[in-house]
A and B are shown apart, each in its own frame.
Chain A
Amino acid sequence: MAKLKGAITVNVERCKGCNLCVAACPTDTLSLQPNEVNDRGYHYAYMSNPDACTGCCSCAWVCPDACIEVYRVKID
């Protein structure tokens, strides 16, 4: 069965660190940066566990600031 492998990029300056993407992610791929902040002082989201990402887009659908881009490939 083909396996899906995904990855996301976060528009760091647009992100407000609301944590909704982290809560929506079914594979616990995402976290908020524990130390780093963007120009506005928000702890932005990032892939803390990139191997788990399946590219399901759940994070992107709930993101209020549209700062997540999702990429997905099929691996045979």
Chain B
Amino acid sequence: MELKDIIKEENKVYSKPELLDDVHMHYCPGCSHGVVHKLIAEVVAEMGLTEKTVGISPVGCAVFAYNYIDVDWVEAAHGRAPAVATAISRLWPEDVVFTYQGDGDMAAIGTAETIHAANRGENIVMIFINNAIYGMTGGQMAPTTLIGQKTATTPYGRRVDLNGHPLEITDILATLPGTCYVTRQAVHTPAGARKTKAAIKKAFENALTKKGTSVVEVVSTCNSGWKLSPVKANEWMEENMFKHYPLGDLKVD
């Protein structure tokens, strides 16, 4: 069978989601952000929520998320995405509001907003991209950086006596009564991406049915910050990140 017989519109089984704009994404080659953007665009379209979804973009690499996914967006001040999401979800209760945050936004400067929004049980979805480094500013240590991990500000590796322990913000959120669904996923394999999509879908359903705050952590790579190739970064993540941040559901109500 010739290729031209296979490549026909009626045989298409996978293509770029329509909600993902046809613009060049500024992310580095192999960045997990792109996969998560794609999954959000697919979930929003499949659930028919295109006109009812509001995203809150963070400060960090994903700051331009509003250029890539064709839903309504608000760009919040650094770390304040859950506070802005709280306001929008209370004023427009029929809409689905999600925040898209990195580890610096959610677990460092925005820890207070994150914890209190989850503790109030706001009907929002928090999508948390944890790559254990500050990617946008040049690879400095993040709160989630692993012990011994080398970054621009910990050139000999993170030390507990000097830098403290990695912050497991998702585990903390799972202990709060306001959260209804807390899960940790990764998008480095096709199976992982499918599971993450199912998790995002479940989180959006929870927001629609007003069950409380849903948190989807995506353990991600930052191959530029880690100074590895995209494929090697995935291997490093499997070997090191998953030990400290094991995948799976932390809380399902």
Contact = CB atoms under 8 A, between A and B. Distances in A.
A42 B24 CA distance: 13
Given A7-B3, A64-B31, A71 B8 contact: yes
B190 A24 contact: yes
Interface string B1-33: 101011110011111110010001101111111
B60 interface: no
A6 B1 CA distance: 10
B234 A20 contact: yes
B80 interface: no
B231 A23 contact: yes
B230 interface: yes
Interface residues of B, number: 36
B37 to A, nearest CB: 8
A23 B31 CA distance: 15
A60 interface: yes
B193 interface: yes
B158 interface: no
Interface residues of A, number: 36
A54 to B, nearest CB: 11
A63 B35 contact: yes
Contact of B230 (A5, A18, A68): A18
Nearest to A17: B29
B188 interface: yes
B189 interface: yes
Given A20-B30, A23-B234, A63-B35, A71 B190 contact: no
Contacts of A61: 14, 35, 190, 193-194
Contact of A60 (B14, B20, B25, B28): B14
B29 A73 contact: no
Given A70-B13, A71-B13, A72-B6, 6 more contacts: A61-B14, A63-B35, A64-B29, A64-B34, A66-B16, A71-B12
7 contacts: A20-B230, A40-B24, A61-B190, A64-B25, A70-B12, A71-B13, A72-B11
Interface of B: 1, 3, 5-8, 11-17, 20, 24-25, 27-35, 38, 187-190, 193-194, 229-231, 234
Q: Which 3 A-B pairs have the closest CB atoms?
A: A64-B34, A18-B30, A16-B29
